[in-house]
């Protein structure tokens, strides 16, 4: 194979890979309206669940911080 054919093939493969990646990204990326619909602020039930999970996490972190033992010793094994 000549050098010119190698360069043309390599540029074609790289260009095709870049184009394929760009098309794939644009295909699987949601549009802004769909993305906003997925946020918990759009649904009051999801927002309440999110706030509840956050409260539980903060309570668990406070309990772990106030405990005199390291957190890895407080884990209950089944």
Q: From CA 29, how far away is CA 35, in angstroms rounded?
A: 9
- Read off the pTM: 0.45
Domain ranges of the chain: 1-30, 31-78
What pLDDT is recorded for position 72?
74
Residue recorded with tokens 């772990």: 64
Q: What pLDDT does 11 receive?
A: 95
What's the CA gap between 4 and 6, in Å, rounded?
Answer: 5
pLDDT in tens, 28-77: 998 888 888 877 777 788 888 889 999 999 998 898 888 887 777 766 65
């Amino acid at each position: 194979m000549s050098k010119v054919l190698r360069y043309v093939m390599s540029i074609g493969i790289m260009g095709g890979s870049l184009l394929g990646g760009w098309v794939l990204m644009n295909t699987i990326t949601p549009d802004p309206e769909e993305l906003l619909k997925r946020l918990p602020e759009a649904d009051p039930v999801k927002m309440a669940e999110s706030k509840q999970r956050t409260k539980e996490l903060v309570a668990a972190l406070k309990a772990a911080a106030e405990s005199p033992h390291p957190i890895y010793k407080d884990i209950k094994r089944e």
